[in-house]
Chain A
Amino acid sequence: MNIAIVTCLILVLIGFAYQVGWSRSRQLVPAGERLHSRPNYHGSLVAIWAAVPALLILGLWALFGDAASRAFIISQLPPEVANLSGPELSQAIARVRQIASGFGVVGEPVPHEVSAGQALRQFHLLAFALVIAAAAGTGALALYTARKRISARLRARNEVERFIRLLLIGCSVVAVLTTVGIVASLMAEALRFFSYVSPADFFFGTVWNPRFSSVGAGTGEYGLLPLLWGTLMVAAIAMLVSLPVGLMTAVYLTQYARPKIRDAVKPVIEVLAGIPTIVYGFFALVSVGPFLAALGDLLGLEIRATSALTAGIVMGIMIIPFISSLSDDIIRQVPRAMRDGSLGLGATLSETITRVVLPAALPGIVGAFLLAVSRAIGETMIVVLAAGNSPYLRLNPGEPVSTVTVTIVNQLTGDTDFASPQSLVAFALGLTLFLMTLILNVVALFIVRRYREQYE
């Protein structure tokens, strides 16, 4: 169906309906009646009445139109063709459609194709006309009803506002539906996975070896622990880098720096937050990894170029602005009186900070820390590029590791069947990741909110 024509028709319908409502309500004014709502609300109300049923019918056709035309073609084809299956049937249908569209087919078309093509063209024309007529008819009927309803006492504004309110509620429900969709899809696929592998083997297994089905029989071993260990190790290194740097940056910028320096430095550090993670991954792979390996050689340590250390350090850099701007907010919420009191009693600024300001801000900082941990756990591209993808339980941070997120990417971008445990395990991993970050976020948001209330 021609989208441009339909859009134009809808716009014409809406414009016309608005005009009808507007002028009808205006006619009431000279009759000496006082309108409850202004004419533009009457116009909008009629337009809504006219557009909604028409759009509903068009929407139904958009959903089921293709299936209807397919069924029609099959009914037109001779039985020996119609009983074909799979690609052959699709090809026959495609040929008929090409004839109907006037594009033609390669070679001499078979008579039954020509007749089916002609029938299909008529069917399309008829269906298009019918749908348009139905949409226009219901639209016109609704328009007529709405026009008849117009009177001076009609609360057109209230009705329009109720409609807008419904639309707004619909918008807010999308966010809820997203969460429902995430939980439902992860749960459903994870349960399918658990029908192959027992949850105990998954959650407490220490070997990760999902043999790909092409290699041979057997489903492989799916132990979560090596991945979890890698995830936690990378996150821990990241926090070791970002917490001191981020926190001290926030402390210095809020307590020591002159406003000019603060205004210059803060946006530059926040640039780090806007850089895409793939760029950090490339940076880790190309610069930090080789640098750390060379440094390790110099110190006599074995550090691989792609390792937990590389990924962790770069992830730490990524999280610095996150920690620093969150702590910045939190430190600024500590009442000034507490700080001034401590300074007035003769404490130095650093003593004030470490013994008064930071302890008072501690709950908020813990919240920020937890939020940062949840980001580090869920981060994907840096570890995909720089952690080395080696799912073994190892203590040495200079060795490559693998994480939950890396494994999700690996399992879903391979050439495996979607229904195989090799692919489904990604959803079990995703569910684990989702729950971990959810718990961290809920706790962190709770702490931060409590902290805010304390000083407000």
Chain B
Amino acid sequence: MAETSIQPPAASSTSGGTLRTIRAGLARRHARERRFRAYGIAAICAALSAVVILFGMILVKGVPAFTQATLRLEVFFDPEIIDVEPKPVQAAGQSTADFRREMLDWQRQVTLVNWNRIIEAALRRAAPDMEFDARQGLSIVETSERFVLRDRFVGDPDLLGKTIKLDLLASANADNWLKGNIDRSLPDAQQQLSAPARALADHLEETGLIRQAFAWHIFTNVDSRSAPASAGLAGAFVGSLYMMLVVLVLAVPLGVGSAIYLEEFAPKNRFTDLIEVNINNLAAVPSIVFGLLGAAVFINYFRLPLSAPIVGGLVLTLMTLPTIIIATRSSLRAVPPSLRQAALGLGASRMQTVFHHVLPVTYPGILTATIIGVAQALGETAPLLLIGMNAFVAAVPATPLDQSTALPVQIYLWQGNENRNFFEARTSAAIMVLLGLMIALNALAIFLRARLERRG
């Protein structure tokens, strides 16, 4: 290489020796060039195929989980089984606490009703010629469905003695069996469902009483351990939503304010240098360290509640702050200095220049930075585990101070569930929801950016 490039071509044409050397090496060099190019293409293919395989795997596993085996049964609210007093009414002068207690007593009575017998009777009516005992029959209906019946009754006590058509979820085992996730040829001892229950499930599917319905409950139910088929994302979703609200309310003003100060006002001195180095380093601190900070400071020192979205939001705010600061600064830096000079030249103060002229130009950049920061916070798991958000919470949090979990943490919890056969699909479905949200956020960023930039 060295000797070939030192010689100019004109000179080498006269001295045949060098030319011959170059020609001799040419084929080898061109082969090397082709090989190098092929490496590059191979690298790109590897990276692209990683994307394709990852998304393909999630889709293949997750899509089936969005449909769920559902039974359509005619349920008779049998007065003989549902033998309870009438629903209490708050009497005049009765304190709310006393009324609540009476109501709870009544609900306890309702809960003690043997709802399973009602479901069993409905199953027997649906498949009169099948033979199964109570346990076998109930094993194909999810255990949470008796509470669905109870809640229907609590909501409307007039149902007593009436027959209504209800959609009830099939159990996780029945769902696995009907979807073919379990090897059907396995012997009885290795099957989750007994032989009569399997036959009943197959029979009901043939008669159309079990069908694969869209699993709305994934979005509307909270997590459940005893009834895996009814487990949903509602609690985790609301928990994540609260956290993102906290992040938006705190991280955006703090981040933008700090970026404006550092970029537009800060004098060049030791202190601002320190802040600058510090922010760059903070951006690269592993997220789990922020979790440790949250555990030590927010939980252990300030005694904020464990598992609360507000603490998660605070931790994620600190984590996304550097991202927003750095991105906002770079969009402030991209504003042409002529704009500032023009404003200053017309007599605007520095504050007026920044807030009236420079900042509006950077709105698209700040918006993108915000959405990227929120998307990053939305997918973060590790710090949340350390502040107790991996607790099992079976309720939708009413305020940011209530116990809750978050979408990525829910994914973590579900992937660890013992019922692997069922929860692998459910976890993939949850991942699809999370990725869908993130893609929607990013699409929104791109869309708004394009719109705002066109206008500006």
Contacts and interface: CB of A to CB of B under 8 A. Distances in A.
A5 interface: no
Contacts, number: 271
Interface stretch (A19-27, A126-134, A246-254): A246-254
A215 interface: no
A198 to B, nearest CB: 22
Interface stretch (A222-230, A275-283, A392-400): A275-283
Interface string A296-331: 000000000000000000000100110010000000
B382 A409 contact: yes
B290 to A, nearest CB: 8
A445 B325 contact: no
Interface residues of B, number: 95
A88 interface: no
B265 A413 contact: no
B379 A276 contact: yes
B438 A378 contact: no
B253 interface: yes
A199 interface: no
A409 B386 contact: yes
A289 interface: no
Contact of A168 (B9, B261, B286, B297): B261
Contacts of B411: 278-279, 282
Contacts of B258: 168, 171-172, 174-175
A321 B44 CA distance: 11
Interface stretch (A6-14, A66-74, A136-144, A427-435): A427-435
Contacts of B186: none
| Most A C-beta atoms less than 10 A away, residue of B32, B262, B277, B286 | B286
Interface residues of A, number: 98
B281 A442 contact: yes
A353 interface: yes
B98 A433 contact: no
A371 B386 contact: no
A379 B385 contact: no
Interface stretch (B51-59, B201-209, B221-229): B51-59
Contact of B427 (A106, A282, A380, A405): A282
Contacts of B265: 165, 168
Interface in A90-122: 98, 102-106
Contacts of B51: 268-269, 271-272
Nearest to B100: A106
Interface string A336-372: 0000001001111111011100000000000000010
Majority DSSP secondary structure for residues of A touching B: helix
A275 B55 CA distance: 10
B349 A437 contact: no
A246 B22 CA distance: 33
Nearest to B32: A350
A284 to B, nearest CB: 10
Interface in A384-398: 384-385
A104 B101 CA distance: 11
B289 A182 contact: yes
A93 B127 CA distance: 57
A1 interface: no
Given A348-B30, A437-B286, A279 B58 contact: yes
Contact of A413 (B379, B390, B415): B390
Contacts of A185: 292-293, 296-297, 301
Contact of A427 (B257, B292, B325): B292
A286 B275 contact: no
Interface in B404-456: 408, 411-412, 415, 424, 427-428, 431, 434-435, 438, 442
Given A265-B44, A274-B375, A377-B286, 17 more contacts: A106-B101, A168-B265, A174-B254, A175-B325, A178-B293, A182-B293, A185-B297, A283-B57, A283-B58, A317-B54, A350-B32, A350-B35, A371-B284, A374-B284, A430-B292, A441-B281, A441-B284
The 4 A-B pairs with the shortest beta carbon distances in the complex, nearest first, are A378-B286, A104-B95, A276-B379, A252-B40
15 contacts: A105-B95, A168-B261, A172-B257, A182-B293, A188-B296, A249-B43, A252-B43, A268-B48, A276-B408, A279-B58, A320-B50, A348-B29, A409-B288, A412-B292, A445-B281
